[in-house]
Amino acid sequence: GAGVSQSPSNKVTEKGKDVELRCDPISGHTALYWYRQSLGQGLEFLIYFQGNSAPDKSGLPSDRFSAERTGGSVSTLTIQRTQQEDSAVYLCASSQTSGGGQETQYFGPGTRLLVL
């Protein structure tokens, strides 16, 4: 596609429920990244994929967070048993390759998650 797309744009859920956030990267981009932006923590890196592999998951804030990527394209970020502190904007980015991060990352519009 022309840019990185994310869905849903907005998500309101109740504490304790599971949510899935989707990212569709720019066509042909092999690297995909997840970030989140919250008032208290600013913009923070969560995880990246090179193809379908995630070399480093250390940025995920807890074991309630998981991500997968299939077919080297679409990725899903899943948050289990959501908590109010998970409320944030979740951003996805992609780049042509990863290769030490030496490529421009292009960001999607984000998913605004509110946990009540």
Partner 1 sequence: GIQVEQSPPDLILQEGANSTLRCNFSDSVNNLQWFHQNPWGQLINLFYIPSGTKQNGRLSATTVATERYSLLYISSSQTTDSGVYFCAVVWRGGADGLTFGKGTHLIIQP
| Choice between 9 and 15, CB closer to partner 1 | 9
By CB under 8 A, which span of 13-21, 60-68, 69-77, 86-94 interacts with partner 1? 86-94
Q: What is the DSSP string of the chain?
A: --S-EEE-SEEEE-TT--EEEEEEPPTT--EEEEEEEETTTEEEEEEEEETTEEEE-TT-SSTTEEEEE-TTS-EEEEESS--GGG-EEEEEEEES--GGG-S--EE---EEEEE-
> Which positions from 24 to 63 touch partner 1 by CB under 8 A, shown as an x/- string?
-------x-x-x-x----xxxxxxx-x----xx-xx----
| Choice between 87 and 103, CB closer to partner 1 | 103
| Choice between 46 and 115, CB closer to partner 1 | 46
Is 88 a binding residue for partner 1 by CB under 8 A? The answer is no
Distance CA 35, CA 113 (A): 13
Residues of this chain that interact with partner 1 (CB under 8 A) are: 31, 33, 35, 37, 42-48, 50, 55-56, 58-59, 89, 91, 93, 98-107, 109-110, 112
